[in-house]
Every structure is written in C-alpha cells, then in structure tokens.
Amino acid sequence: MSNASSAASGVMGQTPASRGLWSSRFAFILAATGSAVGLGNIWKFPYITGENGGGAFVLVYLLCIAAVGLPIMMAEVMIGRRGGHSPVNSMRAITKRGKLSPSWRWLAAVGVLAGFLILSFYSVIGGWALSYVGTTATGQLTGQSADQIGAIFSGLLGSPGKLLLWHTVFMALVMLVVARGLRGGLERAVTILMPALFVLLLIMVGYAMTTGYFGEAVAFLFQPDFSKLTTAGVLVAMGHAFFTLSLGMGIMMAYGSYLPKGISIAKTSMAVSVMDTVVALLAGLAIFPIVFANGLEPGAGPGLIFQTLPLAFGQMPMGNLFGTLFFVLLIFAAWTSGISLLEPLVEWLEEQKGMNRTVSTLAAGIACWLLGIASILSLNLWSDFAPLGMFSMFEGKTVFDLLDFLTANILLPLGGLLVAVFAGWFMSREALEDELALAPASFSMWYRTLRYFTPVAVAVVFIYNLV
Ligand code: PFF
C-alpha cells in the first residue's frame, strides 16, 4: 500500500483496505485511465464531432484538452494527494489547514451530483453495447445493408422493455464491483482489457482504410472549416473535454489521494490525457470512413457508432468474432468508467450517512437506475416530451438530452472552474510547488494557465452560451 493511501486512512477511521484501494504503484494511471477511457471516447466523441461539422470542432476539442483539461486534471490530482481523503474530506482538510472557508467542500458535492446524473444515462448506453454483443455474436449483422442495420438499432430504441433489461444488467455490473470495493480484479482487468481495446480499434482503423474513404475521413476530422463551428459547438467541445477526462467530479481527486508522493503528477496526468485522446481519435478514424463509404449521415447523433461499426462487422472477414470482441471490450471500458461514476456518491453516503458499503451501493445504484428509466422512455414513449422546452436553450431537448447537457456542459465545467480557482487562487504556492515538484519554468506555465487562462476560458464559453 502506498504512503499516500496509508495516510488517507486517518480521520475517517477507515483503513485503506476498507475503502477498497488499488494495490500497485501504477494504481493511479490504471484507475484514472479506466475512468477516462469509456463511452465518451468511442460513442460520444465521434457523434458530437459528426454533429458539429468535424475538423474545426476537433481542433477546439484538442485545445480544450491541452489548455483546460490537462491543467485541471493536474490540479485535481494534486488536491487529492494533498488532502489524502475522499474528495469532500480532502477539501475539508486543505481548507482547514489553510484557514479557508469550509464552503469549498461544496465543490466536491457538485461532483457527487454530476456523477449520479451521468451514470443514470451512461448506463442506458452501456446497455446498448451489452445488447449488441448478442446481436453480433449471433450473426444478425452479416451481410446486412445500412438500412437493415439502422432498423436493428431503431428496433432496440423503440423497445422500452429491452432497454430496461440491458440498463438493469449494466447497473448491476457496476454495483457489484462498487459494493465489493474497487480491488476485486478490476485492476487486472484494466491492464489487460484497455490494451486489447486499443488493438481492436487499430484493426477497425485498418478495415476502415480498405473502404477507400479513409482520406475523406482524415480530411473531415483534421481539416478545420470554421464556418461549420458554432458557439454552441465550442461549449460542447469544452464540456466533452471534461467528460472524457472524467474531470470536474472529484474522481481524479479521489484517485489522486492514493498516488504515492514520489510520482510525478504532471507526467501521469499527461499520460492519461494522451491515451484518452488517442483512443477518441482512433474511434473517429475507424468510424468516419464507414460513414462516407455507405452514404451515411455524420451528424446522425447518439446512434452513430451503433449504425456504422455493425455495418463493418457485417462485411469484414471474421466480422462476427471481431464485432463481439469489440462490444465486449467497449462494455469493459464503460464498466470501469461507470464504477468511477458511482464511487463518489457511495463514499459520500458511507462517510456522511454512516451507511455500510453494501447498503450505500444499493441505495445509490437503485436511485440511479430509477432515474435511468426516464432516459429510456425519452428514446421512445417520451421522445416528444421536452420538460424545459419553454426555454429556448432547452428547446426540443428530451430528458436524456437534458441530463447530458446539464452534466457535460454545465456541472462538469463548473466543477472544473471551481477546482482551477481553488488551486490557483486559494491554495498556497508552496503547497502547489511541493506537490507538483516541477522545474520552475514548467511550474510557472501550469500556474499561469490555471490562474488566468483556464477560468477565463471556461467562464467566457459559459456566459456566451447563456446569453
Ligand atoms: N470519462 C468517461 C468516458 O469518457 O466515457 C465518462 C466519465 C467517467 C465522466 C467518470 C465523468 C466521470 F467522472
């Protein structure tokens, strides 16, 4: 067990083992990558890129990762390691030590709420992936046309019963691991499954190259056409940088509290951000050639990967095998992220309400599962129901759309903004220097970015979109 984690066992009277810690030195990279790489990379990134016109959006997204996401990730990990507890108590410990307002711990509370709301619809999408394992394994995709594949997908969305079944299975998988603590095998799973997912994505990119439309896809992703970029698109790109890196929620704080002191926060954060970005770009390179080769719509929305990749699996040699493997790996990626979404709420219930791990997991998981039903219905029976439709900003947004918008575009950036302000303006410079242990020039670059650029960029995008 690491120094940081044994230090973490103090105030709350919990031992590291009872909190279910990771065991190896690489715990942080594994846990953080497991959380970061998920549906956001393979499902969400390609479809929002398609909806927002491609290249210019991707460029803004990459800028957001580098200039907003990475500095905030470093700040979150640093706060976690400094505080040495769960996010709420880390904030409490640091504010107490620095004689700062205890209200800062609300920052962690925003995160707990965001995780809960995200998981409710994330689990529904995880359910789609679960359902596609069966569809692929039983050969239903073989030789199907784009229209037929589209019909399989609409059939799934149109059936509340099927969606509920798979949503239930996904939530149960998440709850199972969270209830037992994070250790039971997950660490090993991440080490083996993440590289496997990566290799399979490379195979898909290889297949995409044979479609003859690879050049179009590269141009679509990397040739910026700023006339296609809207201000709303900038907000989506920024929100997605937070979502895909699992920022603004305290997750990186929680995992950072177990990071041994001698390990570089900057290098590990950079490794996680780079891996996450590479997976997203590979997903784009695998999907868009198929979109163009089959005359599909890049802006098809959330169903994009469930209509493009199955088409490829239905046509390529050994497609059933590759397809099944792909969806299994996607489920693992979603699973490790799902676990990290439920963990903060469960920890909070344990610490604040004194529930034991099993009861708190059941309470949090069932509440989340119930809210997920609203997202399921908004794909079919409630597809015309826009609860906040009277506000122009939310016009036509179903419950599912609203949850996605509220979390990714508002709560996570807000959480990230508060982290930047807290670390950049309230924590002592000595504490930051001590934790980050960077060369003076690199430190000063990070510090300036976090103090000035990051908060201003997030605030400007926010305000612009509100007005
Ligand atoms: N980063 C995950 C993904 O890209 O799928 C989603 C996510 C997990 C968001 C954990 C936020 C979070 F705290």
Q: What is 303-348 written as a DSSP string?
A: GHHHHHHHHHHHHSTTHHHHHHHHHHHHHHHHHHHHHHHHHHHHHH
Nearest to 246 by CA among 75, 40, 447, 5: 40
Alpha-carbon span 345 to 112, nearest angstrom: 5
Could you tell me how far CA 76 lies from the centroid of its own chain? 15
pLDDT in tens, 182-235: 655 566 667 777 888 889 899 999 999 999 999 999 999 999 999 999 999 999
Tell me whether residue 398 is in a domain. yes
Query: If you average pLDDT over residues 57-64, what whole number do you get?
Result: 97
Tell me whether residue 46 is in a domain. yes
Structure tokens at 52: 């927002």
Tell me whether residue 9 is in a domain. no
CATH number at residue 222: 1.20.1740
Residues 6+ apart with CB under 8 A from 271: 29, 33
Higher pLDDT, 318 or 367: 367
Q: Does residue 287 surpass a pLDDT of 90?
A: yes
User: Which among 45, 337, 346 is the best mutation to test ligand 1's pocket, defined by most ligand atoms within 8 Å of the CB?
Assistant: 337
Tell me whether residue 3 is in a domain. no
Alpha-carbon span 178 to 365, nearest angstrom: 9
Query: If you average pLDDT over residues 279-301, what whole number do you get?
Result: 93
Q: Does residue 447 surpass a pLDDT of 60?
A: yes
CA of 213 to the centre of ligand 1 (A): 31
Structure tokens at 232: 């709303």
Nearest to 376 by CA among 151, 124, 117, 40: 124
Number of the ligand 1 atom closest to the C-alpha atom of 43 = 5
What is the predicted pLDDT for the residue at 24?
A: 57
Tell me whether residue 11 is in a domain. no
User: Which among 65, 118, 128, 182 is the best mutation to test ligand 1's pocket, defined by most ligand atoms within 8 Å of the CB?
Assistant: 118
Contact by Cβ (8 Å): 335, 243: no
Alpha-carbon span 73 to 65, nearest angstrom: 10
Q: What percent of the chain has pLDDT over 70?
A: 93
CA of 344 to the centre of ligand 1 (A): 13
CA of 190 to the centre of ligand 1 (A): 15
pLDDT in tens, 144-192: 999 999 999 999 999 999 999 999 999 999 999 888 876 555 666 677 7
Number of the ligand 1 atom closest to the C-alpha atom of 333 = 5
Range of the domain at 423: 24-466
Tell me whether residue 5 is in a domain. no
Number of the ligand 1 atom closest to the C-alpha atom of 334 = 5
CA of 337 to the centre of ligand 1 (A): 5
3-state secondary structure of 158: coil
Query: If you average pLDDT over residues 320-340, what whole number do you get?
Result: 91
What is the predicted pLDDT for the residue at 393?
A: 80
pTM of the entire predicted model: 0.91
Query: If you average pLDDT over residues 329-339, what whole number do you get?
Result: 92
pLDDT in tens, 391-441: 888 888 999 999 999 999 889 999 999 999 999 999 999 999 999 999 999
Higher pLDDT, 265 or 465: 265
CA of 124 to the centre of ligand 1 (A): 14
Q: Does residue 42 surpass a pLDDT of 80?
A: yes
CA distances to 48, 58, 298 from 401, rounded to whole Å, are 13, 21, 19
Number of the ligand 1 atom closest to the C-alpha atom of 39 = 5
Q: Does residue 10 surpass a pLDDT of 60?
A: no
Q: Which residues line ligand 1 (CB under 6 A)?
A: 35-36, 38-41, 115, 118, 243-244, 246, 249, 251, 337, 340-341
Alpha-carbon span 272 to 76, nearest angstrom: 13
Query: If you average pLDDT over residues 10-39, what whole number do you get?
Result: 63
Query: If you average pLDDT over residues 249-276, what whole number do you get?
Result: 90
CA of 35 to the centre of ligand 1 (A): 6
Instruction: Report angle CA 361, 350, 189 to the nearest 5 degrees.
Output: 50
What is the predicted pLDDT for the residue at 428?
A: 93
CA of 316 to the centre of ligand 1 (A): 31
Higher pLDDT, 259 or 119: 119
Read off the amino acid at residue 414: L
Q: Whose CA is nearest to atom 12 of ligand 1?
A: 246
Tell me whether residue 1 is in a domain. no
What is the predicted pLDDT for the residue at 22?
A: 52
Overall number of domains in the chain? 1
Q: Does residue 17 surpass a pLDDT of 80?
A: no
Confidence of residue 31 (pLDDT cuts 50, 70, 90): confident
User: Which among 33, 41, 43, 341 is the best mutation to test ligand 1's pocket, defined by most ligand atoms within 8 Å of the CB?
Assistant: 341
Q: Does residue 342 surpass a pLDDT of 90?
A: yes
Tell me whether residue 14 is in a domain. no
Confidence of residue 142 (pLDDT cuts 50, 70, 90): very high
Number of the ligand 1 atom closest to the C-alpha atom of 276 = 4
Nearest to 127 by CA among 368, 452, 395: 368
Query: If you average pLDDT over residues 283-300, what whole number do you get?
Result: 93
Give the distance between the most distant pair of CA atoms in the chain. 66
Q: Which residue has the tokens 């198929």?
A: 290
